[in-house]
Structure 1
């Protein structure tokens, strides 16, 4: 008796998930990327191998597409708009430099092999993308993710993650499948701009309304449903506007990024993401036919070193362009030499649109798996090779727009242990300090010690005028309420356009609001406490033995 369609899909899912669990365990044991394991087990169990499942199943293809959407959703959540602003130079210079220096020569070489221009451009773009997950994990294990070279490499990867959306939009145009007139393309451009404008507005609504409500309800189930609703809603909106659902998934991640619940959402969504990602990558691996891929073995044997050399050189030049020294740039360029997971999104879209055929897809898949297998060893070698050249570390704080020079007067708002320590440092530097606090019990001892004090509510204009913030060169805001801190910073900036304003807040999401309100430097307690706790966990040596 032949199984029905539903039964066949269920059987395929059981095979895929079981194969994913086995490959994950093997990869964990031998410290190989799970991505490589998924692709390999898919190739073994798919129609090109043992034939345990058929990648041609329409339902299975839809499930794999959901996996791709979850992957883009998680990437969007990992990209904090604060970090993008913080490392804007590295991202906007290093990212395009690497993408262009790799994709253009790759496309020219592929065109020289006889492929048409649309296929050459698609394959060249796919080759240029690297693996964010694999590289970041390797840099973190090497303890170099905070070095100048490490941060620059991560910035290049973030740019690539962001570039996948316009590249996916480009694929139908290359295939000529859009059949759109100039007016249609103009309308699509306007819809794209409208959609992009919705992202920051939706993000602000989520932070100011959604997050407080969800925190009061304290329900994990509601949080998961809310995240999935945002993901589904943005994908549907993108589809209705004629944009790819991938753009909607990426936008949903950006909307939910940078607030107090981001890490919790990511943790709760993790089972869905990993399950559907396994289906996606194993299904992609199921398309691999080794016999077809090895019909031209010389193309594989020559293509692998060419890709590694081209991507290493392109990565090195990009890193050098943002200030990394040549020896370090070349060694870290090795870490960007693989073909990443997002490349498979582009390749599968190209195959669906008949831009590339099955043989070309198989050859690219073999080359990509080979580069992914070599990546950990290449990064490890690069870190050992540069050695002491990695002393320069980039601090994850925003550089002052108005660095204080010849500071004579400072105002400290909020008298607590933190503010007192900073004020003590100011005094040692010969700076006159005025303290502002609502509680006279806090200001009285300081007044007895000879400091100028103002007792009153710093959110009131009159109190700040009494403290003479309009003539201060430096202002420190260290109050327990984040909302009060934002209001105080905004008022200070209206009174004094030139002062350097430093502010402390409790929550990560408030940091961006402080900076937009006029603060030059904002420190949030959440990030620093998390870093301290992670350092404590790392010191416990909890790695499996």
Structure 2
């Protein structure tokens, strides 16, 4: 008789039970996640009416693979650039939620008479929501493209990062019985370092690799390569001490920036569904009916604490970050459960033998039961908001709308803030790159050369030369590459601010010399390292132009890879307008250009030159594709689809100075002003065009808020009404004269922001 491995029998039981139960749930129009968990309960070791799984450990391994592919799929759908847009709101919401739930978990444990360590670990268990359960529930309910869902995904990513820090903190507490701030700071720094490094290296290498091998990539090959890259990043993340799920998410986010993202997502869908089903079935298998009865009281209490506490804490965090009441409630009710990271935290306590035996089964039970409630919480979030909204006092509603609007209104321009932000990013990014090169050289290149080529001083010199050849363009960029020319130019006009600017420049050079000396000190004496560092710094100055050219090529490839997906989308959107020999060219809009302040439709680039604007880059903001009403500002980088014959005319048009500007004329004090239209305003009842604001103030109305609704770059046909909040950029003296009658005495004052 042929022996059939237990793993095959178990897999057959899992998929058979899951298939039958989910068909039933489909018929009843219930979420499939619940069906998977019920199937796991029925074929688990604690329910003997049906055939039982014999090797649960193997199933757990498959379930871990399911988590990896689910997180990989999430990364494919939500790239780093999309997550950055909700990064502030997601970060605030996640931090508030984790802090509140840590506190509630600890207090609840103490009230129930548990030990201090059980209570601390309970707080950690309750603080992290389930990414996999929410992803599946969003997909089944068809809400993953709604506005609140993007906020939820951002919160989940931040939570996963926080969970890694929690694991370190709880491990330290369990072993030393005291808080180790240094260990926590090291973990945060290590996590930040690797996230930056993986993103930079991934964006530079992987899209280029996929582009070069595109002709060789069949569907089968692309699927294998994608899953291979995912698992390689999982291994790398695990090697440096992070969770496999984080590595899978990072690789998915990197691939999301490639032009093959949609195809990869489609090809991996079946793999994700298969292993995702196994994961949820395994969750159901861990439910022990007897344990549920024994600890029914604590489980019920913790379910209430989880649902109420997470809804309140996440909603509060979202409100504090400036989200509307509706989105805050929807996000809070979506995150009202615990999941896979909670199991990991509970397992840690059990492995270290610092928690009681009952904590893990209770965590599984709470997770399973809150998983059942999750789809209903998401489904009824909007009706619950409608119920709350009807019962809120109007005064509270106005305050909430005003607060939400206030966090997203137009802020004044601050050149020093922009300069310091750019400087900080610049130094951190290149420091990460240089540290990575030094570590790789010391740990891999030097041993390889010593073993396979030559050892001793000759091997050390060869290692140093190769390492500095790789470091050179990044050392040049760190020390000599201009940072935020626009903000720097404005600050330089003030003689009092030139000294701090020069200090920033000098500090960058010092950083570069430090990294050179840091590397040399690992192989040479301190005296030799100092001398060679000075010589290399001199060489960087002498090779300035060559290194600049090399670095620009590296940066150009990185930016092209980063924006490849958007550029491809823009080309598709305009393929019926431009000739087939058209290509993408980038222009920087000069401050004196006649195009500044004009909308794309006013410039008529398509009508005049047959060209189309595919993308506008404004600092860190990428507008892709821009609308016809998008205005151009000084320093904007615009990507234009045109032919070689059209380029000279477009370039000439963009670089023509404003006709009315007189050379040597005194500069106006340009400001951003805010005022409220009152019943005495001369603007009341007029359109923007009829008001003559642009002509009389040499200003531009950039935003209007009416009863909580904000409108950026309003049409010239917009009619002013009493109570409108107006933001205008223009001559300070002339705007002040216009707004003199628009200020309600004792209530409103213009907000000035000198630019």
**1:136–1:68 Cα change, 3 Å:** closer
Shift of 1:154: 4.4
- Equivalent position of 1:33 in the other structure: 31
Relative to the length of structure 1, the TM-score reads 0.66
Give deviations 1:246-286, integer Å, cap 9, x for gaps: 44333322332232222322222222222222223322322
Partners of 2:283 and 2:324 in 1: CA distance: 39
- Secondary structure at the counterpart of residue 380 of structure 2: helix
Describe the SS at the equivalent of 2:45.
coil
CA contact (8 A) 1:55 1:287 kept: no
Q: Give the one of 372, 386, 407 matched to 2:597.
A: 407
Q: 2:170 and 2:229 mapped to 1: Cα distance?
A: 26
> Unpaired runs of 5+ in structure 2?
391-400, 414-590, 615-624, 632-639, 660-755
Contact 1:102–1:314 at 8 Å: present in 2 too?
Answer: yes
CA distance in 2, matches of 1:35, 1:150: 18
- Corresponding residue for 2:101? 102
Q: CA deviation at 1:331?
A: 6.0
Q: How does 1:136-175 map to 2 (within 5 A)?
A: 151-168=150-167, 172-173=171-172, 175=174
Alignment of 1:43-82 (within 5 A): 43-50=41-48, 52-54=51-53, 57-82=56-81
- 1:259 maps to what in 2? 258
Aligned to 1:541: none
Taking a change above 3 Å as real, the CA distance of residues 131 and 68 of structure 1, as seen in their structure-2 partners, is closer
**How far off is 1:314 after superposition?**
0.8
CA RMSD of aligned residues (A): 4.7
Residue 39 and residue 219 in structure 1: after superposition, are their counterparts in 2 closer, same or farther (change >3 A)? same
Distance, in Å, in 2 between the alignment partners of 1:77 and 1:365 is: 29
Q: Please state if 1:455 is matched with 2:648.
A: yes
Distance 1:250 1:425, change over 3 A: closer
1:371 corresponds to which residue?
370
Q: What is the SS of the residue equivalent to 1:294? A: helix
Matched residues in 2 for 1:136 and 1:238: separation? 22
Deviation, structure 1 residue 295: 0.5
Contact conserved, 2:118 with 2:356, CA < 8 A, in 1? no
Among 469, 474, 479, the residue aligned to 2:655: 469
Change (3 A) 1:290 1:241: same
SS of the aligned residue for 1:455 comes to helix
Question: Which position in structure 1 is the counterpart of 2:277?
Answer: 278
Give the deviation of 1:317 after TM superposition. 0.8
Q: 1:380 to 1:215 in 2, by over 3 A?
A: same
Matching residue of 2:576: none
* Partner in structure 1 of residue 318 of structure 2: 319
1:291: how far off?
0.5
**Quick one: distance in 2 between partners of 1:322 and 1:426?**
27
CA 1:409–1:304 in 2, change beyond 3 Å: closer, same or farther?
closer
Does the 8 A contact of 1:102 with 1:127 survive in 2?
A: yes
| Kept in 2: contact 1:165–1:246 (CA 8 A) | no
- 1:503-514 aligned at under 5 Å gives the runs none
* Contact 1:164/1:342, CA 8 A, preserved across alignment: yes
User: Given that residues 234 and 249 in structure 1 are in contact (C-alpha distance below 8 angstroms), is that contact kept between their aligned partners in structure 2?
Assistant: yes
Using the alignment, how far apart are the partners of 1:375 and 1:423 within structure 2? 38
After the TM superposition, which of the residue ranges 140-149 and 292-301 deviates more from structure 2? 140-149
- Cα displacement (A) at 1:16: 1.5
Displacement, 1:108? 2.7
CA contact (8 A) 2:40 2:283 kept: yes
Deviation at 1:174, TM superposition (A): 5.3
1: CA distance between counterparts of 2:183 and 2:149?
42
Partner of 1:216: 215
User: Based on CA coordinates, which of the two structures has the bigger radius of gyration?
Assistant: 2
Contact 2:237 2:244 (C-alpha < 8 Å) held by counterparts: yes
Contact 1:94 1:152 in 2 (8 A): no
Give 1:335's aligned residue.
334
Superposition pairs of residues 11-30 of structure 1, within 5 angstroms: 11-30=9-28
CA spacing shift, 1:101–1:276, aligned 2, 3 Å: same
Deviation at 1:144, TM superposition (A): 7.2
CA distance in 1, matches of 2:412, 2:610: 26
1:113 aligns with 2:101: no
Structure-2 change in CA distance of 1:324 and 1:62 (3 Å): closer
Q: 1:32 to 1:160 in 2, by over 3 A?
A: farther
| Per-residue CA distance 1:331-370 (angstroms, 9 max, x = gap) | 6533332334554454455555556555333333332333
Shift in alpha-carbon separation, 1:46–1:271, aligned structure 2, 3 A: same
Contact 2:105–2:126 (CA under 8 A) maintained in structure 1: yes
- For 1:205, the equivalent position in structure 2 comes to 204
Partner of 2:122: 123
Name 2:5's counterpart in structure 1. 7
Q: Deviations over 1:447-501 (max 9, x none)?
A: xxxxxxx735x7xxxxx3x33438579xxxxxxxxxxxxxxxxxxxxxxxxxxxx
Pair 103,59 (structure 1): closer, same or farther in 2 beyond 3 Å = same
Q: Distance in 1 between matches of 2:341 and 2:130?
A: 7
Measure how far apart 1:315 and its partner are: 2.0
Q: 1:25 to 1:175 in 2, by over 3 A?
A: farther
Pick closer, same or farther for the CA change 1:212–1:423 going to 2, 3 Å.
closer
Higher relative contact order (CA 8 A, sep 6+): 1
After superposition, the C-alpha distances for 1:72-131 in whole angstroms (9 at most, x for unaligned) are 323333331111221222122222112222232223322443444444333323323334
Q: Please tell me whether residue 383 in structure 1 is matched to residue 573 in structure 2.
A: no
Unaligned runs of 5+ in 1: 428-434, 444-453, 459-463, 474-545
- 2:292 corresponds to: 293
Q: Deviations over 1:2-29 (max 9, x none)?
A: x97x712221121112222223323333
Distance 1:329 1:423 in 2: 29
Secondary structure of 1:308's partner?
Answer: helix
Secondary structure at the counterpart of residue 31 of structure 1: coil
Cα distance between partner residues in 2 of 1:378 and 1:241: 37
Note if contact 1:148-1:324 (Cα within 8 Å) is conserved in structure 2: no
Cα distance in 2, alignment partners of residues 77 and 166 from structure 1: 24
Residues 29, 346 of structure 1: alpha-carbon distance in 2 compared, 3 angstrom cutoff:
farther
Taking structure 2 as the reference length, the TM-score comes to 0.49
> The residue matched to 2:62 in structure 1 has which SS?
helix
By how many angstroms is 1:67 displaced?
Answer: 2.2
Per-residue deviation at 1:219?
A: 0.7
